[in-house]
Homo-oligomer: A and B are copies of this chain.
Amino acid sequence: MRFQKTTEYAIRVMVFLANNQNEWLSVNHLHQVLNIPYKYLGRLMHTLTKAGLLEVNMGKHGGYKIHPDKQNIFLYQIIDVTEGLESYDRCILGFPECSDENPCPLHKYWISLQKSLKEMIYSVSLGDLKGLINVKY
């Protein structure tokens, strides 16, 4: 039960960008500071840009920053881009959703857990995560 590595990377880089809103940050810089494979990160940044979360500036002195229209991005928006949100509406046993009236024994346990997960990714935003970076990346 974990996020894909790519999702971890995306959260990592988005938190970092949210803490450096004014600067254009290059892939090379982010790669070194955040310890994410250079080329792989490049593709991920492109994907996040296509999804509208980032603004890009090509060429010399270029790089990425949080898109000006998206100043308060929630975790679910990042996860949606990298691995999708299907798993948050999915049965733990891999069955198509059953009725709440006739649930299997696991249902109530799973639903409650899934609810917590969902609540977190929909309520935590990059705004909540700004200004406190203490960690050595």
Task: Give the B-binding residues of A (Cβ under 8 A).
Answer: 1-3, 5, 7-9, 11-12, 15, 79, 83, 87-88, 90, 92-95, 98, 102-106, 109, 112-113, 116-117, 120, 124, 128-135, 137
Contacts and interface: CB of A to CB of B under 8 A. Distances in A.
A94 B12 contact: yes
Identical chains in the assembly: 2
Given A12-B93, A104-B129, 12 more contacts: A1-B1, A8-B92, A8-B94, A9-B94, A12-B94, A15-B104, A15-B105, A98-B135, A103-B132, A105-B129, A105-B132, A113-B117
A92 B9 CA distance: 10
A55 B133 CA distance: 51
